[in-house]
Amino acid sequence: MAKIGKTDLDAFRLGLGGIPFMNLSFHQAREVISAAAAGGINLADTAEGYGDSEEKLAFALKPKRDQFIIATKSPTTDGKVMRKAIDQSLFRFGTDYIDIYQIQTLISLPDVLAPGGALEALQDAKRAGKIRYIGVTGHRASVLVEAIRTGNFDTVQAPINIVDRESEQELLPLAKQLGLGILGMKPICGGTLDNPALGLKFCLNSVADVIFCGMKSVAEVEENLAIVNSFRPLTALEEDELLAEASQLGKQFCRRCEYCLPCPEGLAIPKILWLANYKHRYPEREIWTEDEYRYLDKLATDCQECGECEEKCPYDLPIRQMLKEAHDELSPTPKQVAKRRLGKVIRRIRG
């Protein structure tokens, strides 16, 4: 256990990310959270926008609320809306205080700082004892740097992984200098790394006080706890492996954060983009990825190009264009299918 910045909160190095709870039943979520708590994890990060994640966390922690640090958040910049968001989170958690309440995915700091803005509401809630500390999260390091320079925040949460390296340049050193609690997220790039253990080890070697990792099963909790408890810095060979994979991913890829959802047309955007990326990197799995895509309820061609997903994407990805490219990648032409069949026949004859 160690302090989170200058707060009086003592936390285990690994924290629970709340997004996976949305796709688990209350019973399944309780199993995961209980396994995490049994292993020493005592901090979970969720959000008002993560479906019923707050309720599931409250359900699992009901007997031991005072033993667990709860962090949640809202993306609103308006003070009136933020006050309502805080009260609703308190109600869903069934508690009279939240340890860390954060402004989620900060984009526009002036709106937050303006009279009647979200910061004013958070400061009022802190004085009233509804929240203990004020945090800020985001995916743009330059905006977060601007925010923490104001001196209004106790913690800052940003992506820390082998691909998103921008925060290492100024944000993390500045946060450390100012004594802010540093919370890392996306350690395995939204599940896109082939070797999650190496991705987590990379983050554990950073200055972050806590690394949040989404875990959807007891097995994943146990695997990640084993990595933390036996942590050793990356070897030169492991670092080379990670860097090679990062170079393959590039910058324009889906981290599967799911902020783009729900799609008005019902497209499973993160899964479609992941399948296309997987096929591109592992062509030997082309038939599997194409079959997985073919049997989805909605294909990329069902996109009406409304652009809502791009407005919500924290990485400013050109999702509409990426969906078109994904469809082309995952939809073989008749000529390609015929060529594969011929190849199978030839291999059968030779074999």
The residues pairing with 137 across neighbouring beta strands, listed in sequence order, are: 157
Cis peptide bond N-terminal to 262, omega within 30: yes
The catalytic residues are: 50
Domain 2-246 sits in CATH 3.40.50.920: no
DSSP label at 231? -
For residue 178, the surrounding DSSP H or E stretch is helix 171-178
Q: Could you tell me which of 231, 234, 240 has the C-alpha nearest to residue 211? A: 231
Phi/psi at 41 (nearest 5 deg)?
-65, 130
Nearest CA among 43, 242, 246, 53 for reference residue 157: 43
Q: Is the CB of residue 51 less than 8 Å from the CB of residue 86?
A: no
- Domains in the chain: boundaries: 2-246, 269-342
Q: Is 164 helix (H, G, I), strand (E, B) or coil?
A: coil
pLDDT (tens, 9 = 90+) of the chain, 351 residues, equals: 999 999 999 999 999 999 999 989 999 999 999 999 999 999 999 999 999 999 999 999 987 888 899 999 999 999 999 999 999 999 999 999 999 999 999 988 999 999 999 999 999 999 999 999 999 999 999 999 999 999 999 999 999 999 889 999 999 999 999 999 999 999 998 878 888 999 999 999 999 999 999 999 999 999 999 999 999 999 999 999 999 888 888 778 898 888 899 999 999 999 999 899 888 877 888 888 999 999 999 999 999 999 999 999 988 999 999 999 999 999 987 666 566 566 655 656 665
User: Residue 324 half-sphere exposure, CB side, CA atoms within 13 Å?
Assistant: 5
